[in-house]
Amino acid sequence: MKFNAKDLALLARRPSGYFDKEGKLKICRVVGDEKLIEPRERWCRLKGNLLFLMKNKSSEVSEVVILERCWVVEFRSKTDVSIVLKFQSGEPDLYLEAASKPDCESWAVALGEANSEGLQNKIQQLRRLIMEIKEERSSDEARQFLPSSQVDSLGEPQFTSIQRIANEPKLEFSLACKDLVAATRDRKLNTFIQVSVVHPAEHILTRYSSTEIVEGTRDPLFLTGVTFPPEYPIYEETKIKLTVYDVKDKSQDTVRTSVLPDHKEPRADVGRSFLGCTTFRVGDLVKSKEQQLTLTLRTSDGGKTVGTIEVNLVKMGELEDGETDHITTDAQDQKCALVRECTATEGISGKDNLPSLNAVLKNPICKLYRFPTSDNKWMRIREQMAETTLSFHVPKELINLHIKEDMRRNQELKDLGELAPHWDNMRKSVIAHCDQMLSMYQDTLAELGKHTGSSFKSSCSKGEKTLEFIPINLHLQRMHVHSPRLKDALYDVITVGAPAAHFQGFKNGGLRKLLSKFEAERRNTGYQCIYYSPENTAKAKEVLSNINHLQPLISSHADLLLNSASQHSPDSLKNSLKMLSEKTELFVHAFKDQLVRSALLALYTARPGCVLKKPAVPRNSAEEGGDVQHQDHPSHIKRQDSIPHHSEYDEEEWDRVWANVGKSLNCVIAMVDRLLEKDNVSNSKEGEKDPSAADCKVLHAGGDWYEQLYPLVITLKDCMGEVVTRAKQSMAFVLLQELACGLPQCLMLTLRRDIVFSQALAGLVCGFIIKLHTGLHDQGFLQQLHTVGLLVQYEGLLSTYSEEAGMLEDMAVGISDLQKVMFKVIEAKSEDFLPIITGRREHYVIEVQLPAKMFELLPQEIKEGKLLRMYPVLFNVGINEQQTLAERFGDTTLQENINQENLELLKEYYKLFTEKMPPDCLPHFQEQNDLKGLLENLHQNIQAKKRKNVEIMWLAATICRKLNGVRFTCCKSAKDRTSMSVTLEQCSILRDEHQLHKDFFIRALDCMRRGQIVHDAESGFSPKGGGGSPPTVPVAARSKYLRKAPTQQQEVCNDHKLVVSIFPSLTTAFISEPGTLLAPSLCADSIAKHVLSCNAELLNL
């Protein structure tokens, strides 16, 4: 091109206010992924489509870049502050690096708007805004048409609310177009509708949602509808604007249309063309006789008619008239544009929207669909995804319990009394390490207490230490189906990232491998400590827990017994004695174990100066271990790697101390019986002679009862105290050995296990509460819940290669630990419905609170506090490209073993179910033979060891649903593979259970995946609710291995790039780093500000 160098140099030296933007940038040329030279700092000045590059602000211009036929690539990560200019001519890319992220974003917007294409888009957008403003009346003019009753004393208009069913969406409607006019006669239209809302109070246009793209027809009927949740501020006076676009470059449109934060407007459209638009009032639709509007689409200048659009009001409980024969089935190449979906600030719509459920679910995202059935009728589907407050509530409650438990354990170690130097040094070392871990738990709890913002942890925060106890992307995915001839149905899936210790890493594997290795090393600890098996250490913890629980109860019941005796109340005395007897029997039974005896021997030998070759004088203090009888024993333990034994040790001493509790209780029982018997005889005689004398006898007898029972009760307490002291010390000594044998690995493994268990438990509590609310009116399910327990099925999509193998090991242990969790349903005493967690490691009880009205619906067994068991099972099938490497060059034994072990657990649950439950408790469409066949089929598929056998996942999910279980789907971060699996499962359910038309399976899948991608992008890529910019297309192609997915895909993987051709409904994503797209994506902040300023100027005009 020709240019005048002198004029350009003069232009570059103009005053600063002349330029559109200027500042310092580091610049270099890039070929491919390699920079030709290191970036050099330059002073950059932008004027129009000319970018001047200068060494400094006062120097001569050294280079001029013409910003035409180029596009801007902005890297959307939190830390990247660079952008790249790419040129259609093929010349080297221009790399620009800013000083900060805001500066980078502002440069990206300025450069994107600098060329003529950006200017044309801005002009088109302003023209549309002018047309919209012309359509809007000013607030004063609008007030003339409002009834006087709608204007308050301050002159502000009062808007008419839409009357809808409680907890249901305020407004839902479907869309269809007819007789659309194309720009050229032979062109086939690929159209979608953009839905915007004009709020009556603010007169501001807000982009709300959009439909899917329907290809190759001028009469598109859209399967994706529009829904406004209950809390959305929409009134009869609200206006809805519908804009129809023709997508020219579908792949470019899909990639470039990103999900923007609420405060930003979308950037100018690139791969689409405007066809026409129309506007309607919500009140006109709601009050229309047929609840349908037929609107005319017009061009931006309001002159030319380009077709019509039909708006149909939707009610989920009503059938939609009309057949579906006219819908096009040519949807194999359909592509979906990505937009921001509708959200609500509180609650979740649906029939189960109750206060207790709203306490755990928040920020729902809603989608509405209509799909044809095989008999050409319509079914309606409402899809919802919600966050849960339990993501943070459960971990915080759990960490608080860990802190209390560890503080109690540390105190028990200190209370062991005097020990020999070797054991005393070991105790000091253990307590020092435990105090460090305790401090770490306390710091973590304090940091979580400061957390504000999002109620879930996004995937990009999975490596943060302060959030390591929080599950990743924990959400409820619900599908509500209304079919023409079938009963309405709800299908829930909990999606969550695999429970794993991401911050600690997987260099040495996960918990499954680490625990096995640690246990093997403990067996060879040498002379330092005594080896106790994991079963014995678990039993020691159980004994200590029983002591801490039962001792205060027995003491309390003993005091109540004495109080009843002082009041001379026979009935109260009987009841108090009954409770005291029951708790004391449990207390005595807790010590019927050889472990206590052997631990007492081990503790005795650990006392200082323990030389037992000559008889020793017993000491009076139980803390000093002086209650042991005269005996001989070697001065050292002969077998340091096992529990010590000695034939001369008087084990009967412990039996006598332990038996004294039972004998003391028998004495109390005998005395109470004798007192009651005398009282009955005395009352009958005295009552016949003189009533007043009988009253005096009662007062005197009351004193006698108390005086006679008091010494016996004190003896019982003393005997119990002696047993407690010895048992506590012996069990604490066992725990000392467990900790000392593996410092610091033991504590680190405990920490890792706590982290994984915390993530798993948060998901389980969420799933249980949702399942309980859904099944409150199902008596068969409630009977199954308290008779058998609840099946919880986890679908894992992790590979067995590299780090994901370690994640799978963590996940397997965490889910297995959920077997030790019990649930209890209680009546809520306040408006706080969040669950309460009690217990200790390896034994937790979750108390779920229900309002009084809901609590009354439960069976008597559950209302009386029966503990409800959980049966968690995990089936994993790796489906991504890493699993291909594992199957060809690695090892899949881990996955095979996990699937086989959990198959046995599933069979065990089914056996219990068939033994304890009547056949009629199965859902009406299920039969016992169906389950037997499915279990056998699952067994055969697991034994087949077939590569990427996704039939295992499908069978396990089907069995879970038939057994009223809770479904979980997990992958690394609960985004890509999880979303593809969930949407495939939903469409398969619609096909198999609700007669979805076979020709619409792929199109229905595309519609749902379009919505799912947006949901996941909004939830998974914005840390702590921030305004991060998510990629618009996930790496969802990995799910090509899912059941009945299309087969025309390819994968190319190397160290730097992954090119994935995914389902026909999606585009190709080019990824240089995980979660980073190389597609052009301009920041729209500047455009939004410019539009707002133009809006204000035009309003003034």
Residues with catalytic roles:
971
CA–CA distance, 506 with 748 (Å, rounded to integer): 13
Answer whether 456's CB lies under 8 Å from 928's CB: no
In whole angstroms, how far apart are CA 968 and each of 539, 796, 837, 879? Answer: 32, 8, 22, 17
CA–CA distance, 898 with 814 (Å, rounded to integer): 13
* Alpha-carbon torsion, ordered 462, 465, 469, 472, to 10 deg: -10
Q: What is the 3-state secondary structure (H, E, C) of 468-516?
A: CCCCECCEEEEEEEECCCCCCEEEEEEECCCCCCCCCCCCCCCHHHHHH
CA–CA distance, 94 with 35 (Å, rounded to integer): 9
φ, ψ for residue 69 (rounded to 5)? 50, 45
In whole angstroms, how far apart are CA 442 and each of 70, 152, 299, 431, 732? Answer: 54, 54, 63, 16, 23
Under 8 Å CB-to-CB from 854, ≥6 apart: which residues?
354, 356, 773, 776
CA–CA distance, 222 with 336 (Å, rounded to integer): 12
Name the token pair of 1092: 């707002």
Q: Which one-letter amino acid corresponds to residue 817?
A: D
CA–CA distance, 577 with 668 (Å, rounded to integer): 8
Under 8 Å CB-to-CB from 715, ≥6 apart: which residues?
664, 667
Tokens 């024969």: give the residue.
325
CA–CA distance, 359 with 834 (Å, rounded to integer): 6
Under 8 Å CB-to-CB from 121, ≥6 apart: which residues?
268, 269, 270
Q: Where does residue 974 fall: left (phi above 0), alpha (psi -120 to 50 degrees), or beta otherwise?
A: left
Among 468, 412, 387, 456, residue whose Cα is nearest residue 754: 468
Q: What is the 3-state secondary structure (H, E, C) of 940-979?
A: HHHHHCCCCCCHHHHHHHHHHHHCCCEEEEECCCCCHHHH
Which residue stretches of 608-651 are H helix? none
Q: Which one-letter amino acid corresponds to residue 971?
A: C
Strands (E), 323-377: 361-372
The residues facing 178 across adjacent strands are 308
Name the token pair of 799: 């590979």
Vertex 203: Cα angle to 201 and 209 (nearest 5): 105
DSSP string over 172-229 = EEEEEEESPPPSSTTPPPEEEEEEEEE-TTT--EEEEEE---EES-SS-B-SB-EEE-
Under 8 Å CB-to-CB from 288, ≥6 apart: which residues?
313
To the nearest 10 degrees (0 to 180), the angle between helices 745-774 and 511-522 is 140
Answer whether 921's CB lies under 8 Å from 782's CB: no
In whole angstroms, how far apart are CA 448 and each of 444, 764, 907? Answer: 6, 20, 40
Q: Classify residue 261 by burial, with Cβ atoms within 10 Å: 0-12, 13-18, 19+.
A: middle
Name the token pair of 844: 């937790």
Map residue 239 onto helix, strand or coil. strand
CA–CA distance, 390 with 459 (Å, rounded to integer): 17
